[in-house]
Chain A
Amino acid sequence: MLSQREGEARVRSIQKRFLSWIESHPVLQTLPPEEFNDIRRRVFRSTFFAFRLGVVGLGDEIPDGLFQQFFGWMTQHVALRGLLPSVTMQIAERCLAVTLEAFWVGAQVNDAL
């Protein structure tokens, strides 16, 4: 069980870890800065909102919806369209993993309420 403040600190740490990962990703680091920033920002926001959903005790149906949303968005993304499907999938899975992690942190805060 976590306090709201501890939960927020965990999510910030998850976001920092994700940032390190995308900054060192061999394909993502070659993207133009605005495209790179777009991906970073979307994942930061998705972790934030997943955390909030966890805190309020919602989200049984999150995983499928989130994955579809990410994958749909990534396959439409101009900068990512030319990537190998396996690379796109790898990025989508990573985005989903950090989002779910943030959700479970939120769920631990919910347990403490």
Chain B
Amino acid sequence: MLYSVTNVQTSLTLDLASRLRAAGYAVRWQTSGLVEDETAGLGTPRATVTLVKEAPATPEHIVRLNEGDTPGEHEVAIPALSLHLPAPEQKMKRLGLGHTEFFRQRDILIDGLAQDEFEQTDLEALFNTWYGGSGVLLSVSDYTDEENPVSLAPVEVIRAVIGTEEAETEIDAVRYYLFARLTIEYVE
């Protein structure tokens, strides 16, 4: 399977990180702690978005940091986003009579937390720009050989539901939720 969970999740997370950096955000990889931005020292990033593989089960580990602070080992600093593949892919139809390949669809959920309503609206608007149009294609690579990933045919976003919610909570860091639920289609 070339469009495996690992390949799709890795590719689309890297793509998301690249889009965030291009939009002026720095990106912090939760697993490595590495922070990347594209200001090249010429400016200050608008904020640092933490990319997490899994959101912590307890909201106490989600924190709002002051500028210059770094999160603790088990802490996730907001704004934070994660990209999941919540359900198995579905075979939709055969490519054609006699073909062994199928049109397949899979849901992608990008969700997370913003620091405030302004940032929540900004990320929502970016999601709409990136994923909300028609004919949006996203690059996917095969990472079987991590040193030399091989580009696959891009996947098409055929549906995008993007939204925000403001949680009724006393924990300020988990108040401004946002999500993009995408359905991608590809042939394999």
Contacts and interface: CB of A to CB of B under 8 A. Distances in A.
A48 B46 contact: no
B126 to A, nearest CB: 11
A92 to B, nearest CB: 21
Interface residues of B, number: 10
Interface in B22-64: 24, 43-44, 46
A19 to B, nearest CB: 10
Interface in A26-50: 41, 44-45, 48-49
Interface residues of A, number: 13
B117 interface: yes
A15 B44 contact: no
Contacts of B46: 4-5, 8
Contacts of A94: none
B79 to A, nearest CB: 13
Contacts of A52: 125
Interface in B115-148: 116-118, 121-122, 125
23 contacts: A3-B43, A3-B44, A4-B24, A4-B43, A4-B46, A5-B43, A5-B46, A8-B46, A8-B118, A11-B118, A12-B116, A12-B118, A15-B117, A15-B118, A44-B117, A44-B118, A44-B121, A45-B121, A48-B121, A48-B122, A48-B125, A49-B125, A52-B125
Interface of B: 24, 43-44, 46, 116-118, 121-122, 125
